[in-house]
């Protein structure tokens, strides 16, 4: 029998920005953006897992901590009514796929960035910034005027990136994560 024995609370920030003047993404040579297609579902899921499973968000969203869970999350995302292929991109590098981002239409005029991830070995070269900009331009192309996202307060690298591009904190949230124990 599985029982909840404790609950941890993770502080998260909702961050938002207007999409009127965003720079074009710039990729180093040998990197390209692959647009969304169903055949890429497995690859997005694998990159999602690789980018998140050792990070704080795998504690907040335990599905990110294993391959099957990441695949399930990715599949669920693509089946949502607001799923936006235009804001969902795979980053291909010289040695294969190395980044993923997904986008949803949140409500009228607003796009929501989901799960921006760059594989650990490829970080610190501007790829996260470029992939995020690529998704934001996707929002613009479908007529959205504003973007939002949520980030765990301990995720300094991600918060610095979001602030650099113009996202500002609009709300503080606490995500309850139950811990299940089997008896
Ligand atoms: C957050 C994340 C996507 C950032 O990806 P990234 O590719 O490292 O991002 P960037 O390279 O654009 O920016 C990272 C740093 O590299 C620096 N940088 C960019 N290009 C550079 C270059 N050519 N040379 C040296 N440094 C560079 C940036 O200035 C930035 O510096 P900072 O950490 O002081 O802000 C990545 O850390 C990640 O996948 N984390 C795990 C998953 C996660 O938590 N995602 C966010 C969920 S909300």
- What are the structural domains of the chain? 2-182 (3.40.630.30)
Is it the case that residue 144 has pLDDT exceeding 90?
A: yes
Distance 40 CA to ligand 1 centre (A): 24
Is residue 151 within 6 Å of ligand 1 at its C-beta?
yes
Distance 181 CA to ligand 1 centre (A): 35
Q: Could you tell me if 147 and 110 are in contact, meaning their C-beta atoms sit under 8 angstroms apart?
A: yes
- The DSSP H or E segment spanning 63 is none
pTM value is 0.96
Q: Tell me what the mean pLDDT of segment 20-42 comes to.
A: 97
Nearest-CA residue for ligand 1 atom 16 is 124
Q: Could you tell me if 174 and 9 are in contact, meaning their C-beta atoms sit under 8 angstroms apart?
A: yes
Nearest-CA residue for ligand 1 atom 17 is 124
Nearest to 99 by CA among 149, 147, 49: 49
Is it the case that residue 183 has pLDDT exceeding 70?
A: no
CA dist 158 to 26, 110, 115, Å? 18, 20, 11
To the nearest whole number, what is the mean pLDDT of the chain? Answer: 95
pLDDT at 180: 73
Which atom number of ligand 1 is nearest to the Cα of residue 152? 48
Is residue 154 within 6 Å of ligand 1 at its C-beta?
no
């Amino acid at each position: 029998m599985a029982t909840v024995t404790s609950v941890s609370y993770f502080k998260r920030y909702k961050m938002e920005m207007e999409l009127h003047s965003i720079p074009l993404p710039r990729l180093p040579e040998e990197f390209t953006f692959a647009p969304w297609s169903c055949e890429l579902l497995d690859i997005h899921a694998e990159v999602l897992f690789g980018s998140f499973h050792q990070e704080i968000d795998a504690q907040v969203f335990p599905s990110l901590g294993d391959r099957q869970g990441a695949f399930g999350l990715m599949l669920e995302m693509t089946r949502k009514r607001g799923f936006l292929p235009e804001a969902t991109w795979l980053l291909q590098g010289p040695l294969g796929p190395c980044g993923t981002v997904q986008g949803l239409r949140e409500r009228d005029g607003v796009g929501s960035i989901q799960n921006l991830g760059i594989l650990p070995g490829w970080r610190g070269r501007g790829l996260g910034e470029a992939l995020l900009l690529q998704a934001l331009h996707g929002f613009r192309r479908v007529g959205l005027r504003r973007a939002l996202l949520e980030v765990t307060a301990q995720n300094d690298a991600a918060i610095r990136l979001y602030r650099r591009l113009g996202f500002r904190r609009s709300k503080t949230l606490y995500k309850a994560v139950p811990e299940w124990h089997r008896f």
